[in-house]
């Protein structure tokens, strides 16, 4: 039998625990619980997500901030129905509900402070977008104007689609399509980025 305390202590990967993904400003303010209906599914998908995507980000850029992680189906539905920036539960690109039995996905909205500082000084969000494309097996990424936050999603088959609400708005690269910039052009954009997984651990 799961307890909320036990669930929060579950270690998903080298750097992340389940508790980091359960916090919800919407849930706290509106008193809607954010607890998985299927904890084992949420944990399994959360582990795949963190190991494939979030650990490499943190090991490259230092501490990343999770803005919005797991959402229960009830919480996400409440957020959508009340205009709180949550997609419909049945929206194909919704990634915050980790425990729908028939939808194998996990994702979160994150901020990279290292890049956010540069973005505030006018750096192009596409520099980070192309770095993600060339280094991580994500399914989808969506960029947002505030802090250059982005949703990043894991699925068993990484389709590698990138969209943005930052100008130029729209789709940067479609699932399965060839990127619009050559590899050497993309690499020049992020030539000053830290080495991939460059943090050393004992």
Contacts of 49 (CB under 8 A, 6+ apart): 12, 98, 106, 107, 108, 153, 154
**Residue 114 DSSP SS3:** helix
Which tens digit of pLDDT belongs to each residue from 51-77?
999 999 999 999 999 999 999 999 999
Instruction: Give how many domains the chain has, as a whole number.
Output: 1
- Note whether residue 201 is domain-resident: no
pLDDT of residue 35: 93
- Note whether residue 3 is domain-resident: no
pLDDT of residue 120: 97
Cβ-based neighbour number of residue 97 at 10 Å: 27
* Calpha distance 193→114 (Å, rounded): 10
Which tens digit of pLDDT belongs to each residue from 166-198?
999 999 999 999 999 999 999 999 999 999 999
pTM: 0.94
Q: Phi and psi (nearest 5°) for 27?
A: -60, -45
pLDDT of residue 12: 98
pLDDT of residue 202: 62
- Note whether residue 139 is domain-resident: yes
pLDDT of residue 199: 83
Which tens digit of pLDDT belongs to each residue from 130-174?
999 999 999 999 999 999 999 999 999 999 999 999 999 999 999
CA 199 to mean position of chain CA atoms: 21
- Domain limits at 128? 15-189
Q: Does the pLDDT at position 125 exceed 70?
A: yes
Q: Does the pLDDT at position 117 exceed 80?
A: yes
| Cβ–Cβ < 8 Å for 120, 126 | no
Q: Does the pLDDT at position 5 exceed 90?
A: no
- Note whether residue 123 is domain-resident: yes
Residues linked to residue 150 through DSSP beta bridges, in sequence order: 110, 143
* Calpha distance 137→31 (Å, rounded): 35
Which tens digit of pLDDT belongs to each residue from 41-50?
999 999 999 9
- Note whether residue 199 is domain-resident: no
Taking the CA atoms of 55, 66, 90 and 27 in sequence, report the sign of the dihedral they define. positive
pLDDT band at 4 (very low <50, low <70, confident <90, very high): confident
The CATH number of whichever domain residue 61 belongs to comes to 3.30.1380.10
Q: Does the pLDDT at position 1 exceed 60?
A: no
Give the per-residue SS3 of 39-70.
HHHHHHHHHHHHHHHHHHHHHHHCCCEEEECC
The mean pLDDT of the chain is: 95
- Note whether residue 6 is domain-resident: no
């Amino acid at each position: 039998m799961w307890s909320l305390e036990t669930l929060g202590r579950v270690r998903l990967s080298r750097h992340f625990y389940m508790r980091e993904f359960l916090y919800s400003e919407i849930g706290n303010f509106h008193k809607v619980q954010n607890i998985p209906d299927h904890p084992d599914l949420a944990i399994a998908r959360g582990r795949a997500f963190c190991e494939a995507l979030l650990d490499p980000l943190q090991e490259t850029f230092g501490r990343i901030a999770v803005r919005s992680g797991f959402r229960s189906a009830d919480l996400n539905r409440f957020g959508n129905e009340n205009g709180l920036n949550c997609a419909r539960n049945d929206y194909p690109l919704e990634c915050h509900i980790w425990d729908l039995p028939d939808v194998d996905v996990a994702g979160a909205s994150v901020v990279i402070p290292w890049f956010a500082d540069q973005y505030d000084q006018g750096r192009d969000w596409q520099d980070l977008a192309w770095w993600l494309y060339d280094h991580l097996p994500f399914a989808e990424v969506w960029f947002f104007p505030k802090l250059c936050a982005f949703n990043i999603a894991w699925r068993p088959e990484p389709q590698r689609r990138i969209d943005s609400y930052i100008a130029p708005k729209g789709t940067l690269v479609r699932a399965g399509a060839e990127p619009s910039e050559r590899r050497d052009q993309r690499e020049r954009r992020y030539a000053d980025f830290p080495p991939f997984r460059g943090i050393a651990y004992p």
